[in-house]
């Protein structure tokens, strides 16, 4: 059955149609139009069908997050559908799925591109959320490196000496650097491009969350993940629904005074590292 959809509905744009992004979107999508963006057309259709059969208004757009032109077209498509009230970015690759160079390109540079492009179309009073990772807290960088990651123009990020030399030393280092950069780029955008648009943007940093893609990580490094979980105060994994609840709050008007910050949701893993209960081995 086809229903007439009000074209004046505010728009939610989700880049990266994975479990956590969809969990967040579900909680805020009632009465809004959802634009799903992903590089996989098969994944897009599966997620869209799941949401449509639950009563949500959904459209899809194939997006290559590594291409500024593709991300810009996605942002413009979102704006053509109505007032862009929310942007959620979950696009990324994990250390056991990709090379250091690919992680830098997708998790670091492409995320910065998406932040830039959606600053151009987000509505006044709108909000954005970048899904980062607990790994952004797992290493302390110098003030100068952090300043460069925060303030270097996006098109020059990949050419930073730290990125070209240190960040690509191994996938783990690349991932940590990229996720720390997510925090720093969002903090900067909150005070500049997104702030100028009268919109808010934050990051959220999940810990070990069970999703279909997470099983690739568990298969490759199950023992280290188990040790991390055992050392954490929560002593369990997290769920996409827990991330959904926290992400929905950050995007809501109830968090209207929150911008440029990160919400760490890791069951206490970083607390265990900082207290010496767990020793990190970056590979």
What would the mean pLDDT of 112-125 be, rounded to a whole number? 98
CA gap 167, 179 in Å, rounded? 11
Partners of residue 130 on adjacent β-strands:
89, 203
Model pLDDT for residues 177-194, shown as the tens digit of each residue: 999 999 999 999 999 999
Distance CA 188, CA 124 (A): 18
Select which of 56, 175, 215, 225 is catalytic. 175
pTM: 0.93
| Catalytic, out of 179, 215, 225, 278 | 179
Could you please state the CATH topology (level 3) that the domain comprising 11-208+239-267 is classified under.
Rossmann fold (3.40.50)
7 has catalytic annotation = no
Q: Cα dist. 88→12, 131, 206, 251 in Å?
A: 8, 7, 14, 9
241, pLDDT greater than 60: yes
278 carries an active-site annotation? no
Q: What angle do CA 233, 250, 198 make, to 5 degrees?
A: 145
Res 220: pLDDT: 60
Per-residue pLDDT at 1: 45
pLDDT in tens, 57-67: 999 999 999 99
């Amino acid at each position: 059955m086809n229903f007439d959809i009000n074209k004046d509905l505010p728009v939610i744009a989700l880049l990266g149609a994975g479990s956590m992004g969809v969990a967040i979107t579900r909680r805020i999508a009632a009465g809004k139009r959802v634009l799903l963006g992903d590089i996989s057309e098969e994944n897009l259709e599966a997620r869209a069908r799941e949401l449509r059969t639950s009563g949500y208004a959904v459209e899809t757009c194939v997006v290559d997050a590594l291409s500024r032109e593709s991300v810009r077209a996605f942002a413009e498509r979102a704006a053509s559908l109505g007032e862009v009230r929310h942007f959620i970015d979950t696009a990324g690759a994990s250390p056991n799925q990709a090379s250091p160079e690919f992680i830098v390109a997708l998790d670091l540079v492409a995320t910065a591109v998406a932040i830039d492009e959606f600053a151009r179309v987000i509505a006044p009073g709108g909000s954005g959320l970048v899904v980062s990772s607990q790994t952004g807290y797992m290493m302390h960088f110098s003030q100068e490196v952090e300043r460069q990651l925060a303030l270097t123009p996006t098109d020059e990020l990949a050419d930073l000496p730290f990125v070209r030399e240190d960040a690509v030393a191994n996938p783990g280092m690349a991932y940590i650097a990229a996720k720390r950069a997510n925090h720093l780029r969002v903090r900067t955008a909150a005070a500049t491009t997104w702030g100028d648009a009268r919109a808010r943007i934050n990051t959220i940093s999940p810990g070990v969350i069970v999703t279909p893609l997470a099983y690739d990580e568990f298969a490759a490094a199950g023992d280290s993940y188990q040790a991390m979980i055992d050392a954490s105060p929560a002593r369990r994994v997290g769920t996409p629904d827990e991330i959904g609840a926290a992400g929905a709050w950050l995007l809501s008007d109830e968090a209207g005074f929150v911008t440029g910050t990160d919400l760490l949701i890791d069951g206490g893993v970083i607390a265990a590292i900082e207290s010496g209960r767990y020793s990190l081995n970056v590979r």
